[in-house]
Amino acid sequence: MIVLEIRNLTFGYSKDKLLYKNFNLTLRKGEIVSIVGPSGSGKSTLFELIAGFLKPIEGEIRAEKFSEVFQDPYTSFHPTYTIMNQIEDVKEIDDIDSFLKDLALQKELLYKLPHQLSGGQLQRCSILRAMLMNPKLLLADEPTSALDNITSLKVMKMLIRYLDRVGILLITHDMDLARWCSDRIIKLT
């Protein structure tokens, strides 16, 4: 099942400096495709195009139901609502316990405000919320950058276990991570 198809994408913030010209990508359920490249190469811009926040100059993007994990978890949660409030806004809580275990999160953390959690805890809550939405496509922008190496490995192994349900488009600066988990790697310059 194709969860993301990008055909002949052309985009730039100015017509004389294009980030993408005739860019093509097909991502299927069960795959992880990593996008790697230096800052300013268009990695996060690609997610904004997929999400519909930006419009391409040319080309077509078709995506199945998706959820996102942002690099900075503090920008993805409202500061005055508990984590649980914000998870319940997007999903009925039924299968949360297995995710909590996989993400090494205690349930009581979910009843706190975002600023009361560490960056790593909040990032894992962001991954929890994204996975509870049952996406067909997960857009993950540096999802493990705020985590220590052991927790990062556990989180990536958990995401890999859910590949029977989802395809993952991963932005990372970590080439070792990309090589370890990806079916394909796309290098942007």
Summarised one tens digit per residue, pLDDT across range 134-144 is 999 999 999 98
According to DSSP, residue 17 is labeled B
pTM for the structure as a whole: 0.91
The confidence score (pLDDT) of residue 90 equals 75
Q: At what angle do helices 119-132 and 149-161 cross, to 10 degrees?
A: 0
pLDDT at 93 over 80: no
Q: How many other CB atoms are there within 10 angstroms of residue 152's CB atom?
A: 18
Residue 134 corresponds to which tokens in the numbers above?
């049952």
Domains of the chain: which residue ranges? 2-187
Q: Which of 5-14, 23-32, 34-43, 105-114 has the lowest mean pLDDT?
A: 34-43
Bridge partners (DSSP) listed for residue 36: 187
Cβ atoms 139, 76 nearer than 8 A = no
Return the SS3 of 25: strand
The confidence score (pLDDT) of residue 183 equals 96
pLDDT at 64 over 90: yes
In angstroms, what CA-CA distances link 161 with 72, 92, 140? 24, 22, 16
Could you tell me the CATH superfamily of domain 2-187? P-loop containing nucleotide triphosphate hydrolases (3.40.50.300)
